[in-house]
Amino acid sequence: MSDKAYITPNVLKWARESARMTEEIAAGKVSVSIEKLKEWEAGINQPTIRQAQTLAKAYKRSFALFFLPEIPRDFQPLQDFRKPGSKSLTTSSIFIIREIQQKQSWISDNYSDNQEEKLPFVGRFNIYDDPQKVANDILQTLNINPLFYKSDNPIKEWIDAAETNGIFVSRTSFIHSRLKLDSEELQGFAIADPHAPFVFVNSEDWNAPQLFTLLHELAHVWIAETGVSNEVEPNLKQKDKFHPVELFCNEVAANALMPKAIILDFDASLFQSSKNIFKIAKQLGVSSFALIVRALNLNIITLNTYQKLKKQADIDFKEYLRREAEKKKKQKEKENAGGPNYFLLQLNRNSKLFTQTVLDAFRGGYIEPTIASNLLNVQVNKFHKLESQLIR
């Protein structure tokens, strides 16, 4: 007969509920009935050690946690800046938030113990400051000129600049192959810690919305407002339903990616054509929709012109989505043949700066191999493959 685990029942139930997992899904993980799971959570019966280990893995908790005498203090939920009525955060979102919180907590403690100086730009402003002033400070601090990107991949330049200045940037669209992140539920979040600010961007979106989300979350860091965001790109409707912090961070993002001086320097006649709008938007790394909202707010176009351009932008966007779907289909076929680069995916998910910091600590003997492996989601004997991605 298999050995019983003798876990703490209410801790087991708390672990499931904090993972936002239903009884039905949890029971399915260990191939038992819902009634049997309820017995375990009520203390009427006990799972086997193997069953408890399987549940710990499913809930993304350590097996040892189940044996604590009482429910532990968990990471505090991030402030929810999302629009009222947004989808509830599900298991995928809870897991990625908790994962980033664990990484951020480790690096922040590490920096504090080593008496690293606080980053001066974290909390330098608040929502009562001028968004343009905040945007200019971000551009100056990160040394970026939106008119002169060095490549056709602006988001990579922004991430590299952010990490060069001590901001950890994580990007992924999944926890694993069967647990994807929904951009309608979660587009991004920021942890505005003065030692180790962490920014997360859901990469399910295409690059232009991702870039806007990144700038929106950087604005959260500059005003020291930790929290979760969705529906980030500019919106002319229902502004009263958006949190003031979100509206402010959107304004900062728009000013940083589409500075007033740069936009006004374009010939105004260019903003009358959807084709020209698309070309300018592509040059700046933003969506056509974001650009026409910016043009309207700067009085370059009228409301009638905006409405006409928006209709065309909607048509163009649907066509873009069709082309993207075809590209993804071909890419998926290619990945199924050769497989995606797991180590590159993990590097983006961990953040390059975080990966390098953990590897340096591991190589220097400052942290245990198991801790380094857990932080990076990679086995120790595969670290060299992760490092090979860092130097590309």
Identify the CATH homologous superfamily for domain 9-65.
lambda repressor-like DNA-binding domains (1.10.260.40)
Bridge partners (DSSP) of residue 48 are: 4
The answer to whether the Cα torsion of 340, 346, 352, 355 is positive or negative is negative
User: Rounded CA gap, 138 and 199, in Å?
Assistant: 14
Q: What is the pLDDT of residue 338?
A: 54
In the prediction, which pLDDT does 318 show? 80
For the chain of 392 residues, list the mean pLDDT of each consecutive stretch of 10. 85 94 95 96 94 93 88 84 88 93 92 89 97 98 94 93 98 86 92 96 89 97 95 68 91 96 94 91 92 94 92 81 74 59 92 95 92 92 92 74
**What residue ranges of the chain are covered by domains with CATH 1.10.260.40?**
9-65
Quote the pTM value.
0.88
Chain centroid to Cα 16, Å, comes to: 23
Q: Which of 213, 201, 209 is nearest to 281 (CA)?
A: 209
Token couple for 284: 């700046």
- 171, β-bridge pairs: 201
Residue 77 pLDDT: 81
Cβ of 5: how many Cβ atoms within 10 Å?
20
Strand pairing partners for 229? 188
Structure tokens at 326: 């075809």
The pLDDT of residue 31 is 95
- Dig out the tokens for 145 from the structure: 């000129």
What pLDDT is recorded for position 241? Answer: 78
CA dihedral 318, 323, 324, 329 (to 10 degrees): 130
Q: Are 78 and 226 in contact (CB under 8 A)?
A: yes
Pairing outcome for strands 174-176 and 179-180: antiparallel
Q: How many CB atoms are located within 10 Å of the residue 389 CB?
A: 17
Structural element, H or E, at residue 282: helix 274-284
